[in-house]
Amino acid sequence: MVVLMRIFSVLLFSLYCSALSAEWFSASGTAVIFDDNRQLARQQAARQALRDILLQADISLAALSVINTEPLGEELFSLTAGLPVLQIVVLEEDERDNRLSITLKADVWPQASLCPDRTLSKAVLLTSFNLAEGATQVAQSNTGLAAEVSRRFAATLQRANADFLLKQGASYSLPGADKLQSAAAAQQLQKIAQAAQAQFVVSGQLRNLSFGVLPGNLLSKKSWTRQFALDISVTDGISGALIQNNTYQTRTLWPVPLTTPIDSGSDQLWRSDYGLEVQRLLRDAVDDIAQTLACTPVKAQVVRIVPQGVAISAGSRQGVKSGDIFRLFYSDSFTDSWGNQYRQLTQDNIELEVTQVYPDHALTRALTQSNVLPVQVRDLVQIAGLKERKYAN
C-alpha cells in the first residue's frame, strides 16, 4: 500500500509539474551509420536531439544522465526519461546517404534541479588545444586542424549556458595530463585561472591523427581513413589539482585522397563522416565535464572592497541574483624550503548578501555588524545560499 501511495504521489507530482510549468521543445539529431549499425546511429542521433532540447530549455547537460536510449532488438529502441524531462516523443526518423536523422519532442520542466538546490554556471577558461608529440605520421595541415577543433570545442562549450561561462584569457597551451600534476604546472594553472577569474581550466591535446587505407575491389576504389584521438583535461584553477582526464577517439573515412589538400575549416571536412564524428566527440566531452561539475559550488574572487561589503567576480551571466548568499574564504600562501609555493583556503563565518548584480560582477553587503571586513582583493567567496529556486542547472 505504501509503495502504491508513493507511485501515486510521483504521478500526481509529474502531472502537477506538467500542468504548472512544463514546456514542449523539439530538436533533430543526425548520426553516421557505421558497418550497418543503425541501432547505434539511432541512439547517437537521439542523444544529440535530446541534448539540443536541454540547451533550448536552458537546462544543465548533466540531465542527459537521467535519459537513457535503450536498445530493444535489432532495430527498435526506447527512450526513458526522468526529471527534468517528463516525456519524449519521436516525431520523425529519416535515413539517407548513410546518415540517420531523428526528430524528437520532449516535455520539459525547467524548474526541476539535479542538485540539492539551484546552482550557478561555472567560470571556465579554455586553453588552446595542441598536438602531442608523435600525434601523427603525416604533418600536413595538422596545426590548422588542431586550431579548428579547439575553436569548435569552445563554441560547443559556450552554447551550454546553464553549465558554463567561458572566460577570456591569453592563448595558453598546456601539456598533457601526466605533466599537469607537477607543482610547477599547478602554480601555472593557478596564475592563469586567477588572471582570467576562472574557477576551472580546460585543456586538450590531439594524440592521434594518423591515416589508414581501405583497399578497393572491383566495385570500389581504395579509400582513406583517419584516426582522431583527443585528451581533455579539467583542472581546478584554485588548487591546480587535476579533476578529470578523458580520451575521446574514433576512426572513420577521410573525405579526400591523402595527397589532396583540404581546408581545416571547410564545410567539405565538417559535413563529412569524419567531421560529424569529431563533432559528436566534442559534444560528448562537454557533456562529461557538465556531469562532473554539475553540483560543484561556485567560487569567485573578491575584485573590490566596497563600504560594508565587497564586489565579487560573479554576475548575472553565471546566474547570480540579488539576495544570494556567499561565504568568505581567506587565502593564505606560503613557500616551502624547496621554493614551492602553496595556497590554502580557510572558510570564515562571514556571509555576504548580493545587493546589486551586473553581467560579470555583483556587489554584496556583509551580514555582520562589523564595519571593517578582514578581506583582501583576490580572496575567495563561495556560494552558500540562493534566494529562489527557479531555473534548473
Q: Which helix (H) or strand (E) holds 108?
A: strand 99-108
Domain assignment present for 392: no
72 assigned to some structural domain: yes
Pairing assessment for the beta strands 68-72 and 341-357 based on DSSP bridges: unpaired
Q: Does position 15 have pLDDT exceeding 50, yes or no?
A: no
Residue 329 shares a structural domain with residue 260 = no
Identify the residue whose cell numbers are 544522465: 65
Do residues 60 and 162 lie in contact, with contact meaning Cβ atoms separated by under 8 Å?
yes
SS3 state of residue 117: coil
Task: Specify the amino acid at residue 345.
Answer: L
* Higher-confidence position of 131 and 347: 131
Judge if 338 and 287 occupy the same domain. no
Q: Strands 85-96, 99-108: parallel, antiparallel or unpaired by DSSP? A: antiparallel
CATH of residue 100's domain is 3.30.1660.40
Task: Give dist(CA 105, CA 100) in Å, integer.
Answer: 17
Q: Is 49 in the same domain as 79? A: yes
DSSP state of 328: E
Angle at Cα 343 formed by Cα 328 and Cα 154, nearest 5°? 80
Looking at 292, 309, 339, which one is the last position of a domain? 292
pLDDT tens digits, residue range 129-186? 988 876 655 545 688 899 999 999 999 999 999 999 999 877 778 888 888 878 788 8
Q: How far apart are the first and last CA of the chain?
A: 35
Cα–Cα distance measured from residue 333 to residue 160, given in angstroms and rounded to the nearest whole number = 34
Residue 46 domain boundaries? 22-108
Are 284 and 345 within one domain? no
Q: Do 242 and 137 reside in the same domain of the chain?
A: yes
Tens digits of residue pLDDT in 231-262: 999 999 998 899 999 999 999 999 998 888 89
> For residue 8, is it within any domain?
no
Q: What is the pTM of this model?
A: 0.86
Give the phi and the psi of residue 357 in degrees, each rounded to 5. Answer: -125, 135
CA separation for the pair 200, 164 (Å, rounded): 10
Higher pLDDT, 145 or 82: 145
80, 108, 136 — which closes off a domain?
108
Distance CA 160, CA 65 (A): 16
Residue with cell 585522397: 257
Q: For residue 354, what is the domain's CATH number?
A: 2.40.10.410
Residue 260 lies in a domain: yes
Please, what is the average pLDDT of the chain? 83
The domain spanning residue 221 has which CATH number?
A: 3.40.50.10610
Question: What pLDDT, on the 0 to 100 scale, is given for residue 14?
Answer: 44
- Which uninterrupted H or E stretch holds 15? helix 2-21
Element (DSSP H or E) covering residue 188: helix 183-196
Answer yes or no: are the C-beta atoms of 29 and 52 closer than 8 Å.
yes
Task: Write the pLDDT tens digit of every residue in 312-336.
Answer: 999 999 999 999 999 988 666 666 6
Q: Look at residues 108, 133, 148 and tell me which one is the last residue of a structural domain.
A: 108
Whether residue 217 sits in one domain with residue 341 = no
Quickly tell me which residue has 536541454 as its cell.
54
Shared domain for 274 and 170, answered yes or no, is yes
Cell digits of residue 337: 624550503
Measured CA to CA, the distance from residue 360 to residue 165 in angstroms comes to: 10
Using alpha carbons, select from 158, 119, 123, 116 the residue that is nearest to residue 300.
123
Here the cell at position 188 is 601555472
Tell me: do 62 and 133 sit in the same domain.
Answer: no
Average pLDDT of span 276-293 = 97
Cis peptide before 255 (omega within 30 of 0): no
Q: Which range (75-79, 106-110, 116-120, 307-311) has the least confidence?
A: 75-79
- pLDDT at position 7 is 33
Residues 145 and 272 in one domain: yes
- 80 within a domain of the structure (yes/no): yes
Number of domains comprising the chain: 3
Asked, for residue 14, whether it belongs to a domain, the answer is no
